[in-house]
Amino acid sequence: MAKLPRRKCANKECRQWFHPIREGQIVCSYQCASAVGKEQTRKAREAAQRKAQSLQRAAEKKERAAWRQRKAAVKPLKHWIDLTQRAVNDICRETELAEGLGCISCGTKTAFAWHAGHYRTTAAAGHLRFTRFNIHLQCDVCNVYKSGNIEAYRAALVERYGEAAVLALENNNTTHRWTVEELKEIRLAALADLRALKKLEAAMKPELIEILRMRWLRLRIYRYRGSFPVAYRILRNYVRIEAKREHRNES
């Protein structure tokens, strides 16, 4: 029988060269064989534990999904309407902020808080509550303290879209009863648009990021948690609008 070529011992603590005396021999001694066997047993035990934990996590995940499904089945329709309205309001508000637009009613671009204001209210025209043409950026003063400032709202809509479009919106008095499936579809579409908008904003050039940083330093307004809150997100949106406008002017 030909002499087998030498090889290194498989025991990590040994790793000495030796000449095997039979095919498949990977260790140089019984001590190394025992050490390698123990190591293989330990690895097999850990792999079995990981597999068991993975199966347990999968079972728990499946159980949580079933629980959420059961929980969602008993939730009232108002819950889904509120969730969908929040998502649609977010995309309408953030889109107009990203475009550099101001309040639809008074035109201000420096508000304490930005709202998504309905031209035809959800109470009067519930079938239009998710229509984006009916929702525009409004400051907190017009939306809350002036009850929507509807006269100025309408004048701005006419100026932006034309009299015919506004009349069509005002004369739309069809009734509609929302279903959970419709609400979920509308909400997912709004969230997808919002994610796309955020990705677009994240792709801003480094010089715009520097403009934002310099404006923050210039304004020197901080966010407080207490009796004197400062609208951090509103200030961020204002700075973002100014930066985008400056970038457009440069290009």
Q: What does the pLDDT average to over 219-237? A: 45
pLDDT tops 50 at residue 241: yes
Encode pLDDT of 21-32 as tens digits: 888 888 888 889
At 251 the pLDDT is 59
How far is the C-alpha of 116 from the C-alpha of 96, rounded, in Å? 10
- pTM of this prediction? 0.60
Mean pLDDT of 83-88: 95
Q: State residue 231's pLDDT score.
A: 42
pLDDT confidence tier of residue 236, bands split at 50, 70 and 90:
low
Q: Is 97 exposed, middle or buried (0-12, 13-18, 19+ CB in 10 A)?
A: buried
Pick the most confident of 8-22, 136-150, 219-233: 136-150
Distances (CA, A) of 141 to 89, 101, 114, 124: 17, 16, 9, 21
**CA-to-CA distance for 167 and 154, rounded, in angstroms?**
10
